[in-house]
Structure 1
Amino acid sequence: MSKIYVLDTNVLLQDPYSIFSFEDNEVVIPAVVLEEVDSKKRYMDEIGRNARHVSRLIDGLRASGKLHEKIPLDNGGTIRIELNHRSFHELQDIFVEKTNDNRILAVAKNLHLEEETKEKGKRVILVSKDALVRVKADAIGLEAEDFLNDRVVEMDSLYTGFLEVYIPLDMLSRFYEKGELFLSDISKLPFYPNQFLIMKDVMGSSASAIGIVDKTKVKVKKMTFNQEHVWGIHPRNVQQTMAIELLLRKDIPLVTLIGKAGTGKTLLALAAGLMQTEDFHEYKKLLVARPIVPVGKDLGFLPGEKQEKLRPWMQPIFDNLEYLFNTKKPGELDAILAGMGSIEVEALTYIRGRSLPKQFIIIDEAQNLTKHEVKTIITRVGEDSKIVLMGDPEQIDHPYLDAYNNGLTYVVEKFKNEVVSGHVKLMKGERSGLARLAADLL
């Protein structure tokens, strides 16, 4: 039996195409949702863009009929704007204030009560990204669901970029002698291009080796990185060694790094970028950018010119650069960067419309990007450029994103089978013992 899905505003603002995601069921959009969408359409950010897109999609449906009646959709379902069922009578003793959330709940509750009186009444389900709205719905006897159609991966199944396999000792010896093995001899598991294999002795000895799957997915080969350090930074664990391999490979223009705070993502990327830009001159410029999303309460407007305004947002980048350049005096880093001229620290706000050829591009905190924003960024990448996206999907400050639908996770999953990309999940914190313990416990 078909169902009635009542959509909350945040579902439409997260994914404008969500109205087409409910198969042959009935989609109901309360009139108050249109009011909320209208209030957001003047925003110049991703929420504003989605609000305008939703408005255009719904406006386009008018050609198929009247919006307050059922309009058929191509997937076999219907959609309508709910103008009735707005009475607050059923909820006035429970929720005193007529907030927009409560008005949406009232529409869903009244529809539910109406369907209960019918012989073959439909199930009414409220769909919301807001956990408290779902809790309220449950409290008043309504079915409520999160909108999960925008999730890229299921729980705990995000691609890590490496695989641990156990093989006979003679195969390990052959790998060290020849520098390669056929994947068909190792395992029947599916492999991805540029995926790392941690090969261990099946009998339990300490013998082991690390290899990387070639682009044809036929062989696993030795890694090409053979230097002791990168711009003074030594890899401290196996995942950092893998990350450096990807960061230094010219044939892998897209690298994604995921890890908790303190795993070395930013430091490794900056070190690799500086070495290839300043020492090897493989790139004309090192561009470092991050989205401006505040943690906690926003400080509001900041005084000064553009660079002065950006400094507080970009301070984590400057902290890592101070460590790499071993600066000790105030203002010393600024003098170094001004003298070099090949390092640019920028906010992602200014990247739209640019073309970035022959540059080493680092995008920090990429987990705070939406799918549309990350597409905008990667499509800016010009010829002979390399882009590194990194972040921690567990630390998201964007109101409509989570660990499974953010832009960084989206890129990891969409590109894992492409020869131009490589990915590593950094597992071990190396900032300090305290930082590592805090990342695990808190």
Structure 2
Amino acid sequence: MRKAFILDTSVLLHDPRSIYSFGDNLVVLPAVVIEEIDKKKNNQDLIGRNAREVARELDKLREKGTLSQGIQIENGGYIKVELNHRSLAKVRAFFNEINNDNRILAVALNLQLEKTEKDGEVVLVSKDAIMRIKADALEISSQDYLHDKIHLNEEIYHGYEELWVEGELIDTFYKRGYVMVEELQKALNGYALSYNEFILLKDRQGTGKSAIGKLKKEHHRVVGLSFGEGSYWGIKGRNLEQRMALEALLDDDVSMVTLTGKAGTGKTLLSLTAGLYKTNDEKRYQKLLITKPVIPVGRDIGFLPGDKDQKLRPWVQPIYDNLELILGTKALSSIGDTIVAMNRIEIEALTYIRGRSVPNQFIVIDEAQNLTKHEIKTIITRVGEGSKIVLMGDTEQIDHPYLDEQCNGLTYVINRFRDQSVSAHIHFKKVERSTLAQLGAEIL
């Protein structure tokens, strides 16, 4: 029985191809949604880009028939622009204001009231939680757009695995410098290891013996750390997760590193330290490029005076704070002079990355959890030959209105690149900023 999915504007602006994501069911676009899309098409941002993409997709479908009558698409479903069922009479009994959201609700409610036993369920799909709540109040089935969500309970990946093995195998690891994957099969119990995944070996007899290694899948072995135990620019890993992160950040065979964890776990500090070491000490990269999405927490403070660097300074202040710690200076003027003098650090606005090719650079993208799938793809496809990119963020602190822990660019990349030989991932659990920060992360 074919269902009818009524799409809110927020779904189309989030994913322009969402109209093809509902199988062989009927996708209904209320006329007011088309009007809202039209108002966004001239925006010079991702929302405007998605609005234009929606317009192009619908224009292509026009060649197959009349949208108001319904057009069949390749997956067997139908897409229809709904011009009828616009009466607000039923909705105004509960929500008196005449606005676009209520017009969309009216279409859903009227379709539901007119459906027969042969018709399937009417479902409102919206990224707006308030819209879903209002639909529920009207007894209309509603749901978030689920097509690009990651099922965290099933697919969460921390980048490392703890295995309980015989003490003799740990001794063998220290003697040889590696253990073969075949020797871990019993402890793995069917678990499939991924490229560059870290393995913590613990003695099942409880002797306290332990070892840490990383998987070299192409060699079918788990080898010891090469870089994670060292100190770089006075910074070293304080805990196991930080040591594993340094290993991945300093490994030239790994072109992309993703780091997640609460505030204060050391993601930014370790990334900048590795970048400085690779660009200034080893000369492996020509430049350290640092950027982040410009999305405010709370109310935006509006336009800022000055040139690009002055406007960008408040957004990248956390990066300067970490550079001050690494470079050992507290004066703001001194850190600025130091960065200029080094001539190997560039702090850029993410807005200007489209169209660029970034070769031979160590790229650090902070707050990547506030990026959409499209934005994260745009960034990664800018990475040129000989470059390395680090994407990091806290998926529990998302400021983008239409993203959440299961649906954001960082989570998407982690899961899609999980078993790629060029990538590594570490999830931090322990906060190292201070005892107070640790307590705040745990109990607030």
The answer to whether the 8 Å contact 2:372/2:403 transfers is yes
> Which range is displaced more, 91-100 or 160-169?
91-100
Offset of residue 156 of structure 1:
6.4
Contact 2:228 2:247 in 1 (8 A): no
Q: Secondary structure at the match of 2:313?
A: helix
- Given that 1:192 and 1:217 are in contact with CA atoms closer than 8 Å, whether structure 2 keeps it comes out as no
Alignment partner of 2:301 out of 299, 313, 317: 299
Runs of at least 4 residues of structure 1 off by over 4 A? none
User: How far, CA to CA, are the matches of 1:2 and 1:205 in structure 2?
Assistant: 61
For structure 2, the 5+ residue unaligned runs are none
Q: What code does the residue aligned with 2:351 have?
A: T
How has the CA–CA distance of structure 1 residues 230 and 111 changed in structure 2, closer, same or farther, with 3 Å as cutoff?
A: same
Unaligned runs of 5+ in 1: none
2:142 counterpart residue number: 144
Instruction: Name the counterpart of 1:78.
Output: 78
How far apart, CA to CA, are the structure 2 residues paired with 1:377 and 1:121? 44
After TM superposition, the score normalised by the length of structure 1 is 0.97
SS in 2 for 1:216: helix
Output the aligned Cα RMSD: 1.3
Match of 2:46 in 1: 46
Give the drift of 1:328. 2.9
Q: Which amino acid aligns with 1:129?
A: K
- State whether residues 228 and 246 of structure 2, in contact with CA within 8 Å, keep that contact through their aligned partners in structure 1: no
> Aligned letter for 1:113?
L
- Amino acid of the structure 2 residue aligned with 1:256: T
The CA deviation at 1:330 is 3.9
Shift of 1:101: 0.9
1:179 aligns with 2:177: yes
Identity of aligned residues (%): 53
Contact in 2 for aligned 1:256/1:390 (Cα 8 Å): yes
Contact 2:228 2:245 in 1 (8 A): no
Match of 1:239 in 2: 241
What secondary structure, in the 3-state scheme, does the structure 2 residue paired with 1:309 have?
helix
1:102: how far off? 0.8
* Other structure's SS at 1:65 match: coil
SS at match of 1:396: coil
Give the aligned partner of residue 162 of structure 1.
160
**Is the alpha carbon distance of 1:70 and 1:329 closer, same or farther for their aligned partners in structure 2, counting shifts above 3 Å?**
closer
1:59-100 C-alpha deviation (Å, 9 max, x unpaired): 111111111002111111111000000001112121110111
1:126 and 1:226 map into 2 onto residues whose CA distance is 50
Once the two structures are superposed, what CA deviation does each residue of 1:370-422 show, in whole Å capped at 9, x if it has no partner?
11111111111122111111111111111121112211111111111111111
Q: 2:263 aligns with which of 252, 261, 264?
A: 261
Q: Tell me the number of residue pairs that the alignment of Structure 1 and Structure 2 aligns.
A: 440
**1:292-346, CA deviations, whole angstroms, 9 ceiling, x for partnerless residues?**
1111111111101111111111111101111111113341111111211111111
Cα-to-partner distance string for 1:355-381 (whole Å, 9 max, x where unaligned): 211111101111111111111111111
In structure 1, distance between residues paired with 2:12 and 2:161: 38
Would you say the 8 A contact 1:193–1:217 is kept in 2?
A: no
Q: Is the contact between residue 359 and residue 383 of structure 2 (CA under 8 Å) also seen in structure 1? A: yes
2: CA distance between counterparts of 1:154 and 1:411?
13
The match for 2:320 among 318, 321, 324 is 318
Distance across 1 between alignment mates of 2:229 and 2:141: 58
Structure 1 residue aligned with 2:398, among 396, 399, 422? 396
TM-score w.r.t. length of structure 2: 0.97
Q: Which residue of 1 aligns with 2:94?
A: 94
Contact (CA 8 Å) 2:179, 2:221: kept in 1 or not? yes
CA distance in 2, matches of 1:226, 1:317: 22
Cα drift, residue 435 of structure 1: 1.0
Query: For residues 113 and 217 of structure 1, do their structure 2 counterparts lie closer, same or farther at Cα, with a shift above 3 Å needed?
Result: farther
Deviates more, 1:374-383 or 1:315-324: 374-383
